[in-house]
Structure 1
């Protein structure tokens, strides 16, 4: 039986990847967490996300779950390539090589092998990812999971939130008292609706008739090497096929045309066969229908007092470059350290203002990247030559041209270093600008930089660890010249109770992006301040980083 009034520091609504990551992050900071989830314990998720980004894997590494995730999914030697064919079993147009998980750390020479990170991306479906995160989170001290529990309302005051919960098995209602509440409850978020936030943007960009199938013998019909993802391009039907288990389970996306607004008006079986390139004699089984609509919608606010939104509850867009779930996990990491700082007592509650000011502009930015790419893909599908499958030199020339176009258009989304490492936080109350603008980035490219707001460029320490492995739970100061006096900052940090780790690194070890002897970073790897020497008023800098002195002018904090 569920307790009548469970008490938590943070109530998380939703036990998907975003909510579970937030729970893991908070637990690592000694925060008591209750997770309310409507599903039964262990009930499998739908086959949605197929990709874990490098930035997410970096955080999974910090939270101690990266290797568990890396060992799951497709067989270890299964290529993670993206291939374009006339049909799934037809002629190959082009291939974007992506290493298998066995070769992920050692592969060289491809567009997806140069990642400046200790944890490159990992292709894994959510049906394998989510149970790993659930088991890891549930085993952590201070984390309680209430399954079959629906949050139906909440009230809040200056001291906390009281949420009304419904036990979906026996119909009983009870209260959950907490300091803060976070809605990680998906696109139809109840928390968002209760707090009165609205999704704004483009409600329909692309409709996708998606089907999860079991098809024994399909893999054997594919010419050439297997691939994690296959785009089928022909005049009858364009679609995408994802390998789920590397054996006989597949997810088939049928990309509907703009004049096909209704999922069931399109013959599902015929579309699947046209995408796969198989006839009526080939047998397959429909496991589930997973139809979805690609959108570009961002909530007009991510916070109401002590209540926050994260993940699909805050933003929805076409999941190109895998940045649906991964953007939500970035929300969780951002919010987790802010809530932790506040609940641990070393930061003022004003520090929480940074969440919406930082994450909402990023989701606007990234969602436009995804929408622009979706529109380019829609145009490309509408321009498939009717004789793309023709034999002889004419057909070969068409296939070669379309293959080159497909490669150039899509290599940036499957090797999306820009979206992983290029985004930055501007106009944040916790970032001390020094006047230099962050370098621009695209979906596929970026320039490593220590401009405040950017991700601290990665490098390896002499002892073989990633520099991120040495980061502390609050702030971390990277010092490349030991003669630079940092004692005033250490003293100010101690007086404020602000956790500050120091890493001394010889300047010769630092990559090109590091031009200042002192670079101060947050636990989520973003640079907050840098300088040749400490500012004259270190107490003011610490107060700013603890959310207590937003109005201080930058000149007082320059070093």
Structure 2
């Protein structure tokens, strides 16, 4: 007999595993989380939380906790490229480009129109304790830190795991129906023979987490400063710096500076040289720096060949690892957990068949691949910026100095070089203005019923988002009015995992049929008619612009706010239609 018996075992207590715990608790699914470390991350690591992630956290009552402590919008308006922070030389402290980013500046109205949530910024070293508090409040006694998975076996009815208490050495047997591997690919994937495929070992990224007073040099509205100077010989050699709070803007106490070494460069492990290098790159020779941690990680762009192995599902870094550019790592991980949690809950409750779980890999693996490719592309695009400045990879220092002198020269060719640098640097909007990439991803196959329509046009640079109710896409955001309360269309699917049928003002038949089916199938479902004498009004007219159905049509939205099915108009047999839809979506 097992020592512990739970429906779901989560292996890994980072951002992905903790999010999965929160989601499962809200879905009323008992579970156990084990994490081999004594606590949460001691590294800042990921920090940017995009709009889609904040929507997910909003659905589960966590977003406000992040907004209260995260970077205020006015401190994450832009990114900039600069030669150094300080210094008094001709090439020092020169800003050669700034870009509005993360929904700030000229982007604000567009980002606000498309989501009830703004992006946020909160480093993982602080975010994970926040998520842990939420998870422990929802599932007291079910988070076991300093416990590691040592064995994993599956049979026809479930999974048997051996978990070791690293304090006492005692082993416990855990019996679960399903396992979520959110351990960064360290244990579960290798046990199952899952392969991470793609390029790896490209560069050694060195991240230095330190405390320093940079208030007299930092721009309050800037979130990331990229340094490009002869001393670092290019963007990644000179580094990128981000404030890490807990106070934000120029008063930030903590910072992280990322730069690279070649994997075969022995200097990458000389931590005594890190502080002098930072001072040299920033041109602040007397800066008082207290280093908290120097960490190394290998640049790679890899994707798991399987997201599911029997009763085990991989999520987060266990399924995909990629460069930090565009901030896709943690965001994709939380969205993986969000996609998986409601499906596990439906199967465990008996309202869906096992086939629903197959849709996790079918939906999330293509998104993972796209995000790996995008992150690698945006990482390498910084080298394009270097070329646009006239820098030559591996060139001698005197050639790099000459390139900067030519760039800033007060001459017609200097003006031309600066114009070229601006045009080339603007291509980095693929990283900092990736609005459609962040909220416009879609599922082409899975727990949905395609309607034969073509997807909206996609901006190849990832910026322009076209809201759509086409099945597989996230339902568009629009503010509705319900009994005097302003509510987003994304708020209609609550944390407890219910479906939403959004109908036009003449969609009474769809609503009645959906309610009958929901009662019969014992599923949670909310019906909402928008407009006319319906349940909600459309005060701004935005929903009418984006709904893409007639007044007699309807849209079925899944618990994760992706569209499962839609009908442009009425049907002769709405109950029969919706019965077939639910059978398909739930895998019954």
Residue 388 of structure 2 contacts residue 425 of structure 2 at CA under 8 Å; is this kept in 1? Answer: no
Residue in 1 that maps onto 2:8: 10
Residue in 2 that maps onto 1:70: 67
User: Would the alpha carbon gap of residues 324 and 350 (structure 1) be closer, same or farther in structure 2, given more than 3 Å must change?
Assistant: same
Match of 1:208, SS state, is: strand
Quick one: which of 51, 73, 84 aligns to 1:54? Answer: 51
Residue 389 of structure 2 contacts residue 421 of structure 2 at CA under 8 Å; is this kept in 1? Answer: no
Deviations 1:418-453 (A, max 9, x none): 11221100122x211111122243422221111111
Deviations 1:196-223 (A, max 9, x none): 100001114443221111223x33234x
Residue in 2 that maps onto 1:93: 96
Matching of residue 379 in structure 1 with residue 384 in structure 2: yes
The 5 Å alignment of 1:291-302 reads: 291-302=296-307
Q: As a proportion of its length, which structure holds more helix?
A: 2
* Whole-angstrom distance in 2 between the partners of 1:172 and 1:25: 29
Residue 208 of structure 1 contacts residue 294 of structure 1 at CA under 8 Å; is this kept in 2? Answer: yes
Matching of residue 547 in structure 1 with residue 587 in structure 2: yes
* Whole-angstrom distance in 2 between the partners of 1:68 and 1:527: 28
* Whole-angstrom distance in 2 between the partners of 1:509 and 1:82: 31
Shift of 1:324: 0.5
* Whole-angstrom distance in 1 between the partners of 2:546 and 2:262: 45
Matching of residue 210 in structure 1 with residue 246 in structure 2: no
The 5 Å alignment of 1:86-485 reads: 86-89=83-86, 90-98=93-101, 110-115=106-111, 116-141=114-139, 144-186=142-184, 188-216=185-213, 218-222=214-218, 225=220, 227-237=222-232, 238-245=238-245, 246=248, 247-256=252-261, 263-264=268-269, 267-279=273-285, 281-381=286-386, 384-385=389-390, 386=400, 387=402, 389-390=404-405, 392-394=409-411, 397=415, 400-401=418-419, 404-405=422-423, 407-428=425-446, 430-441=447-458, 442=460, 443-462=462-481, 463-472=485-494, 473-485=497-509
Residue 13 of structure 1 contacts residue 181 of structure 1 at CA under 8 Å; is this kept in 2? Answer: yes
* Whole-angstrom distance in 1 between the partners of 2:382 and 2:363: 30
* Whole-angstrom distance in 2 between the partners of 1:533 and 1:407: 50
User: Would the alpha carbon gap of residues 432 and 4 (structure 1) be closer, same or farther in structure 2, given more than 3 Å must change?
Assistant: closer
Please report the RMSD computed on the Cα atoms of aligned residues, expressed in angstroms. Answer: 2.5
Matching of residue 521 in structure 1 with residue 545 in structure 2: no
* Whole-angstrom distance in 2 between the partners of 1:76 and 1:545: 38
User: Would the alpha carbon gap of residues 300 and 172 (structure 1) be closer, same or farther in structure 2, given more than 3 Å must change?
Assistant: same
* Whole-angstrom distance in 1 between the partners of 2:465 and 2:283: 39
Provide the TM-score with structure 1 as the length reference: 0.89
Residue 31 of structure 1 contacts residue 142 of structure 1 at CA under 8 Å; is this kept in 2? Answer: no
Provide the TM-score with structure 2 as the length reference: 0.85
* Whole-angstrom distance in 2 between the partners of 1:207 and 1:69: 31
Residue 333 of structure 1 contacts residue 524 of structure 1 at CA under 8 Å; is this kept in 2? Answer: yes
* Whole-angstrom distance in 1 between the partners of 2:374 and 2:266: 24
Residue 57 of structure 1 contacts residue 119 of structure 1 at CA under 8 Å; is this kept in 2? Answer: yes
Residue in 2 that maps onto 1:533: 570
Deviations 1:320-379 (A, max 9, x none): 111001001110000001001111111111110100011011111121111122222133
Quick one: which of 81, 87, 102 aligns to 1:84? Answer: 81
Quick one: which of 514, 518, 523 aligns to 1:498? Answer: 523
Residue 254 of structure 1 contacts residue 271 of structure 1 at CA under 8 Å; is this kept in 2? Answer: no
Match of 1:290, SS state, is: strand
* Whole-angstrom distance in 2 between the partners of 1:195 and 1:425: 26
* Whole-angstrom distance in 1 between the partners of 2:228 and 2:32: 47
* Whole-angstrom distance in 2 between the partners of 1:221 and 1:522: 48
Shift of 1:304: 1.2
* Whole-angstrom distance in 1 between the partners of 2:353 and 2:287: 63
* Whole-angstrom distance in 2 between the partners of 1:229 and 1:461: 36
Residue in 1 that maps onto 2:90: none
